[in-house]
Structure 1
């Protein structure tokens, strides 16, 4: 009798979660462009045929449409990918791990084409909009992921991050994002953008769920991802309740590098978040991230060069099939020489060591994620990204490979979310999670939801 009851509870919990996701999706997807492919029926069928019980039972997931999942083709939101879809492509390692732990995939979520460029309506699939203001961008490239989390279309999203692609949408929509140390999570089964920078991670409504997802996703993948490290998986569930009193926190406001401007409310919102950290008993000091502008240059060179190399032949053969935003950005990599690329890789190693040295003095670093709220969609242009990229602060940590949590901290003057980044030493996700969790226990920013 106990087994029957447990099985019935499991069945009801999953069915209710999927139907709750379906109702939210029906209500908002037409306005926000969350999904490329909804998979609610497929999720229910998979659960009924192969019910799984584990630490994530009943957790609904959106999966960014550059990550292979067995229920539907992975389009990368590109006509080129659709034309060359590899039949029988194995499911991504992280998705198989999450399913075995009981999570349920309810849809493939909107992205920018091959996770780069601008959603300008010239490619297939929806243009994602911000749930706090539908005239605004949801962030990129995991655009539908952030909007879907914040409107209940799914509990969490699995996204990729090359120079900020999961952290920017989390920041712009008021969600929580977690990028692990480069190599911590295998990228096997994803369309690559820039392989030496690519990571896979979660976006959710809290760091609690992000940590639970990372606990399942992380770990070596010797037969798949050559960049996946053999580093032992930590106990990130325990880190959620860790005492952070006495931790040394280095703060860089990065205002000197906010080239696109600073929202009038941002300095006070960020300072209030720092005072909340003070209330947790941390020891706070100011710090300057070394060679910060150069970190951004190195990241852009590496990303454009590697992305161009991957897409070069397709661009020559299928230029017209690419959306305008994607082909312009990919083609920009043509101007980067092998000398540029090799110099950037050498600089990367030296700069990463300089940043890592800061953790001899500090346990974590804290910076703004963005100095501005989400930009207006109509004002974005792929050939002039300065108006929206100049005040984002995510690329540096992709270059150095450090783990980062982004957590909401308040709102701009016109009601758009603002966020801060908590950066830890290599392989110390536990510190990042501990500080983010303590902050979210003390504050309610992560509980606020838009009225779409």
Structure 2
């Protein structure tokens, strides 16, 4: 293949390598070339590890030549948000404080990708300590949207979203504490899955708020996400939160037929926040899901102000606890926006934090009963407004910046407190010409159902296949 052609998606890349249409080494070399050439344009890349990647790729090619069985991701070129630890490789987490940190462990998720034959090309940009929904980083610069460079790429998994959207890699892992997989997926026009809390092991990934953190894939299609999730999900004895989580194949559920599936659409809070152009796209996506056989019902939501307050309290306290030492010793080494988000966590009483944790299961039941009812999933906007510009979220009055950032997280942050899975699916382009998306939210461990619905939608649409301008050839 041309060294500068767009990199195929996860499933397509695996099939090309398995069939011999392209060698894993050639595919890795092409991806490295695109990352080197286009990566700086979007500020998507922290560092590449070409030697390690080519070694992995050659091992796949040797295995295929010997007729050995290949893993489900054999030869697939991936790169990941720079908070996944790999022993002996730096991992800065988007920060100045950890720029020299070198872990001595490897994240479970990366180990599982290695076992499946994936090729790890290197580390991708993220917001400082994963604490920005837009991709802002005071030290490393803002993530850039491949569709329009002066607009947000979404955060905190900004490099993952941009690299997949620009087809620099087949897929990437990100983390999601309040929307950090779904924001970049929505803003960059790709597919992103936030799994149920506890489905994917957190071991070896830099934490932000362990009660809310989730790890998951960003990829071109729902099928690509299903392939990746099937590899990284499941119990890990090093992470007790995953002990009860099932491990399964998720691609088997992708049949395209949604007859018998009911999708709930809450009318308040989520849709009332959506702009007219976003509402048009949401309604069109519902029509496509209905055409695939789904039944659509209207519902409402419980007290969302309470849920958002509980989420903010839990994240604030846990982030403050993790950062207490550095905040005391090196406060000047934080970006002002990130420092301002961590500081309130020190002021919450312990009783309030304990209450937030104890209320969590009850509030999750209430949300499911009200927003979902007897349906199989809930349909919401991922982003209720068009993708904002970088200037809108970084310049001017502090209250205006806070309001712009609040609009970004309006539809996503409570889902993390509830611990529920959510799939973000591109559904067209807003009035400003940038991507828009809906999210499907399910009951705990209902990823297969969400993937089934998202795949059925993508069988009838091609928004996830659209390439940003100037991305056809590097």
Same fold (TM over 0.5): yes
Q: Kindly report which structure 2 residues correspond to 1:198-277, keeping only aligned pairs within 5 A, or say none.
A: 198-222=213-237, 224-241=238-255, 243-255=257-269, 262-277=274-289
Q: Residue 340 and residue 88 in structure 1: after superposition, are their counterparts in 2 closer, same or farther (change >3 A)?
A: closer
Deviates more, 1:371-380 or 1:148-157: 371-380
Q: Distance between the aligned counterparts of 1:120 and 1:357, measured in 2?
A: 36
Q: Distance between the aligned counterparts of 2:136 and 2:454, measured in 1?
A: 34
Q: Which residue of 1 aligns with 2:320?
A: 308
Q: CA deviation at 1:295?
A: 1.5
343, 360, 371: which one aligns with 2:355 = 343
Q: Residue 338 and residue 88 in structure 1: after superposition, are their counterparts in 2 closer, same or farther (change >3 A)?
A: closer
Mapped pair 1:195 → 2:210 = yes
Q: Which residue of 2 aligns with 1:111?
A: 126
Q: Distance between the aligned counterparts of 1:45 and 1:131, measured in 2?
A: 30
Whether the 8 Å contact between 1:10 and 1:57 is mirrored in structure 2 is: no
Q: CA deviation at 1:424?
A: 1.3
Mapped pair 1:73 → 2:101 = no
Q: Which residue of 1 aligns with 2:402?
A: 385
Whether the 8 Å contact between 2:88 and 2:104 is mirrored in structure 1 is: no
Q: Which residue of 2 aligns with 1:438?
A: 456
Q: Which residue of 2 aligns with 1:449?
A: 467
402, 405, 424: which one aligns with 2:420 = 402
Per-residue CA deviations over 1:290-313 (Å, capped at 9, x if unaligned) read 222222221111111110110011
Q: Which residue of 1 aligns with 2:66?
A: none
161, 166, 169: which one aligns with 2:176 = 161
Per-residue CA deviations over 1:237-268 (Å, capped at 9, x if unaligned) read 1011253112111012445676xx64331111
Q: Which residue of 1 aligns with 2:443?
A: 425
SS of residue matched to 2:149: strand
SS of residue matched to 1:372: coil
37, 54, 62: which one aligns with 1:44 = 54
Q: Distance between the aligned counterparts of 2:18 and 2:420, measured in 1?
A: 43
Q: Which residue of 2 aligns with 1:3?
A: none
Q: Distance between the aligned counterparts of 1:325 and 1:256, measured in 2?
A: 26
Whether the 8 Å contact between 2:278 and 2:386 is mirrored in structure 1 is: no
Query: Structure 1 stretches of 5 or more lacking a match?
Result: 1-5
Q: CA deviation at 1:103?
A: 0.8
Q: Distance between the aligned counterparts of 2:406 and 2:250, measured in 1?
A: 32
Whether the 8 Å contact between 1:42 and 1:71 is mirrored in structure 2 is: no
Q: Kindly report which structure 2 residues correspond to 1:348-363, keeping only aligned pairs within 5 A, or say none.
A: 348-357=360-369, 361-363=374-376
Q: Distance between the aligned counterparts of 1:300 and 1:9, measured in 2?
A: 49
Per-residue CA deviations over 1:325-376 (Å, capped at 9, x if unaligned) read 2222112212222122122223322111113335551011111111112211
Whether the 8 Å contact between 2:316 and 2:344 is mirrored in structure 1 is: yes
Q: Distance between the aligned counterparts of 1:283 and 1:7, measured in 2?
A: 39
Q: CA deviation at 1:49?
A: 5.6
Deviates more, 1:8-17 or 1:316-325: 8-17
Whether the 8 Å contact between 1:264 and 1:412 is mirrored in structure 2 is: no
Q: Which residue of 1 aligns with 2:389?
A: 376
Q: Residue 49 and residue 430 in structure 1: after superposition, are their counterparts in 2 closer, same or farther (change >3 A)?
A: closer
Q: Distance between the aligned counterparts of 1:408 and 1:226, measured in 2?
A: 34
Q: CA deviation at 1:31?
A: 1.5
Whether the 8 Å contact between 2:313 and 2:356 is mirrored in structure 1 is: yes
Whether the 8 Å contact between 1:253 and 1:367 is mirrored in structure 2 is: no
Mapped pair 1:412 → 2:412 = no
Deviates more, 1:53-62 or 1:16-25: 16-25
Deviates more, 1:280-289 or 1:49-58: 49-58
Per-residue CA deviations over 1:153-194 (Å, capped at 9, x if unaligned) read 111110111111111110111110111111111010011100
What is the number of residues matched between the two proteins? 441
Query: Structure 2 stretches of 5 or more lacking a match?
Result: 1-15, 64-69
Q: Which residue of 2 aligns with 1:101?
A: 116
Cα RMSD (Å) of the superposition? 2.2
Q: Distance between the aligned counterparts of 2:18 and 2:161, measured in 1?
A: 32
Q: CA deviation at 1:36?
A: 0.7
Q: Distance between the aligned counterparts of 1:244 and 1:309, measured in 2?
A: 45
Q: Residue 361 and residue 326 in structure 1: after superposition, are their counterparts in 2 closer, same or farther (change >3 A)?
A: same
SS of residue matched to 2:211: coil
134, 137, 143: which one aligns with 1:128 = 143
SS of residue matched to 2:276: coil
Q: Distance between the aligned counterparts of 1:8 and 1:298, measured in 2?
A: 47
Q: CA deviation at 1:416?
A: 0.9
Mapped pair 1:365 → 2:383 = no
Q: Residue 65 and residue 256 in structure 1: after superposition, are their counterparts in 2 closer, same or farther (change >3 A)?
A: closer
SS of residue matched to 2:240: coil
